[in-house]
Structure 1
């Protein structure tokens, strides 16, 4: 350890005041005061007693940023999902079809047939009810987000947050429409239209299809379809509830996941970069659209 030199009047005064404790008398040379040299054991002990700064959790930092930006992202993604001409037209057609089904006795005929030929009982019934529950989808997505953020995996963290956003938009719209329509299911439960299990399941399937292609998307759609059939088979929903719920989930999932398919970090899109100068260069660029 290098010796420290304290020059001037005040070090000498300090030395005189603490002569017996610090032993400064032996280190005053030519008007200059040298600090006593600490041995390695003392340095090690002092370093161990120094309080280390606490390391912030990557999960908490990511969650703080994403939650603060969540309302703005919900609004922007909702506009993209519902104000695009094709999406709006598809929702109008699905809504019209579901109204026609319900008022033409098609719903009652389908419900009566399924009641006589029910396919889901016991374990199968409860299993698909659990798999299609929106709360399960939110919990699984939260786990995906938490693990990715804690491991500083920005790619999967962004994808998990996109799934969370899509589920949130679907859930908010579904609950809002249920409250407005306020009709009963075949088995007498409240808030039938549209089916929340169906809309949430098709949202998950659509997002997975956008992110991972048909190899993951097709099985996910198959599972969502089984959930939708189960909701009709057990009398929890009319067929019209399922038709609109599936359309809603499909539109929201594809639109939002398609928009955020590319990696974004703190609102900046990550794109490949190739230099055009005299020396070739390759890397990534962070792009923000205003």
Structure 2
């Protein structure tokens, strides 16, 4: 049986281990960002700014265009797929905004002056909103239309946006990683939720 004293000892050891791991992870995080941002090819800044600026417009336009095609063709399945992709974008945005406000991580250039931001952002850093939205869209598209010619360019675009956030010095690598997980997870969970609701509707 675990006594109260043993319990507190175990908790203390776990906290110490987690602190050590966090410290190592933080060092890895900023060192990787320094390699990407400080040693970047500055002639590519404009290209990466263009890529990063496609995140929200494409994420919004994709379900709108697919729904429009569904309306024109009077195809209810296409309209359902469009609604699913739109739901995924909204779910990922909601989770991202909530986590930013909970975690309240400063942008890397605030904590580390050597990081050169291409633009100063107004919100918190963790997770990356651009990355979560593009990975939500890419994953939802891949689930809705599981063809290689949809999957490959979708994830190539999403990865380019994620990388652009580090190149431009506005996000840590872990911000981008967590953003990608939130986006992909939102798409998967929304898909599962829709399947469950449809099954209940037909029972």
Q: Give the TM-score category using the shorter length.
A: 0.7 to 0.9
Q: Is the 8 A contact 1:194 1:241 kept in 2?
A: yes
RMSD, matched Cα: 2.8
Unaligned runs of 5+ in 2: 1-17, 111-120
Hey, what does 1:247 align to over in structure 2?
Answer: 181
Specify which of 57, 63, 67 is matched with residue 145 of structure 1: 67
Question: Are 1:201 and 2:114 an aligned pair?
Answer: no
TM-score for the superposition, normalised by structure 1: 0.52
Question: Are 1:128 and 2:51 an aligned pair?
Answer: yes
Give the number of equivalent residue pairs: 171
Question: Are 1:162 and 2:96 an aligned pair?
Answer: no
TM-score for the superposition, normalised by structure 2: 0.72
1:228-281, Cα deviation, whole Å (9 max, x unpaired): 1111111110111011111111112123235547xxxxx867xxxxxxxxxxxx
Hey, what does 1:21 align to over in structure 2?
Answer: none
What's the offset of the Cα at 1:210?
A: 1.3
**Greater helix share, structure number:** 2
Hey, what does 1:184 align to over in structure 2?
Answer: 106
Q: What secondary structure, in the 3-state scheme, does the structure 2 residue paired with 1:139 have?
A: helix
Distance, in Å, in 2 between the alignment partners of 1:268 and 1:106 is 44
1:154-179, Cα deviation, whole Å (9 max, x unpaired): 11100000001111110000011111
Q: What secondary structure, in the 3-state scheme, does the structure 2 residue paired with 1:104 have?
A: helix
1:4-47, Cα deviation, whole Å (9 max, x unpaired): xxxxxxxxxxxxxxxxxxxxxxxxxxxxxxxxxxxxxxxxxxxx
Larger Rg: 1
Higher RCO structure (Cα 8 Å, ≥6 apart): 2
What's the offset of the Cα at 1:122?
A: 4.2
Q: Is the 8 A contact 1:101 1:107 kept in 2?
A: no
Q: Is the 8 A contact 1:102 1:240 kept in 2?
A: no
